Structures are given as structure tokens and as C-alpha cells.
Amino acid sequence: MELPPSDDLFTAEPQLAPTMIFLDLDNTLFDHRQSLKYALAAVQSIIPSLREITSDDLAEKYNEALNHVYGRYLRNEIADEDQNAEKVKLFFKSLDLEEPDSECIARFRSVYKRIYRTSREATPGSIQTLRRLRDNGYRTAIITNGPTGSQIEKAKAIGVFDLVECLITSEEAGHPKPDVRIFQYAMQKLRVNTKNVYMVGDSVKADVKGALGANITPILYSPSSNKSLEMFFGREVSVIRHFDQLPMILEPPLDSSWE
């Protein structure tokens, strides 16, 4: 009896690569807003000029100062060691307060840093969702702007570091989000292409725009949103308010169910 060609003896369904989920750290997996609230309340108690200002205004203005100075750092316009003083000076200026002296800045940063660090927690539902994704065959990794050492330390402190394959920073990649090169670096490092790859993050500019530029499917994390879909840069983007909603957006994994 004539045998079929060897290539026809064994046929198997092609194995699709597991879905890759990239996630942002600050304000996505890490609840920055909570730590900020506690830290500023502590600072407010030791600096009289801040006591009459509402906590919401303090948080808004300090976040603005933080983001502005951090943006300058990412563009190499300011040294890492100069960031803290610049944040405090800009914060006071935005509140129409007298520029703080070096002693005031030191007290501010000492109290702020201590409370901010001791109150760090993962975003509600994020740890459970990371475990669920891992148990159901998904790959996960963090892509974040910032220095590698401090971001790894933060991820470990809130309990997410050991739940992902790796943490990739702008310092490591040499480019900050939304530069497509940090996403390309991550995909090359983890040996994935743009198929079945998602980017979950809170920033429209850094995460959504960056992912779209790299041909990655973005998912916006926005606890204050009342929409499940929004248009950004001409594309329809899924929106989640809570991490429990993430599995419902992702395609079912090949090797298990969500049961």
C-alpha cells in the first residue's frame, strides 16, 4: 500500500500565541490618587499656608506640578535629583503662595515621601484580575515611564511585580510612552507581534495614542468614565471603569475558560 507523503502523516491545528496584555503602572495598577491624598493631607498639617486650601485643589495642583516636571525629566530638560524641588516650587506658585525656601521644601518632601510610600496600594481589583489572567493562559507585562529601580520597587510594594512576566521602563527602553519605540522594544523583548496584543492604561496620550501608533489594541482605564467605548484619534477604544471588566473585553483564551 502506498503511503501518503510524510507531510500529510501528521496534521495539527496551528497553535495561536497566547494573548499579551501590557499594563501601565502609575494610576493604572498603582493607586496613585490614594497615596497622593494621604501624603498631601500630612503635608497640609505641617505647613500653615496650605491649611485653608481644599484637599481637591491641593491634589489637582500637585498633580499638575508633578506631571509638568516629570515631562521635563522625560525630555531630559531637568536632572532627576532636581525634580523634587521643582515640583514643590511649581506647586506653591500655582497656589499663588510665596516660593518655599530650601528648609520648607525639605520638610515638605520628607513628610510627603514617607506617607506616600507607606500608603501605596494596588488599584482595586487589579491583583485579582492579574491572577485571573495568568490562570487563564494570558501573558502580562508592565510598560511604564520612569526610572527602572523605583518603578520595580513600587510594583513589588503593591504586590503586582510577581504577577507579570516583566516590567519595562522608559529608562530601560530609552524612550518614554507614547513613543512607539518603547512598545516595539517590549514586543521584541517578549517575542510577540502586534496580533493579540493589548495595552491597558489610564493616559489617552501615553497609553492610547502610543498603543495605536504601535498597532497595539488600546484599552483605556478610566474609573470616572460612564462609557464603555470612546473615540480617540479616529479609533473606537474600549473603556473600563474597574479591572473586573477587563476579562470581558479580551478574547477567550485557547486553553481554558473563565469558569
Query: Can you tell me the distance from the alpha carbon of 204 to that of 249, in angstroms, rounded to the nearest whole number?
Result: 18
Rounded average pLDDT over 33-46: 96
Is the pLDDT score of 8 beyond 60?
no
What is the pLDDT at residue 17? 62
- Are 114 and 159 part of one and the same domain? no
Residue 1 lies in a domain: no
pTM: 0.86
Cβ neighbours for 114, distance < 8 A, ≥ 6 positions apart: 42
Give me the chain's average pLDDT, please: 91
In a domain? residue 163: yes
Distance CA 227, CA 229 (A): 6
Q: Are residues 84 and 138 in the same domain?
A: no
Residue 168 lies in a domain: yes
pLDDT band at 136 (very low <50, low <70, confident <90, very high): very high
Rounded-to-integer distance, Cα 190 and Cα 207, Å = 18
Of 172, 214, 197, the C-alpha closest to 16 is: 197
Question: How far is CA 115 from each of CA 50, 71, 187, rounded to the nearest angstrom?
Answer: 17, 24, 36
Which residue range is the domain that position 56 belongs to? 33-118
Q: Is the pLDDT of residue 10 over 80?
A: no
Residue closest to 77 by CA, chosen among 85, 88, 68: 68
> Span 53-60, mean pLDDT?
95
pLDDT per residue over 192-224, tens digit each? 988 899 999 999 999 999 999 999 999 999 999
pLDDT at residue 74 in the model = 82
In a shared domain, residues 241 and 178: yes
User: What pLDDT sits at residue 102?
Assistant: 95
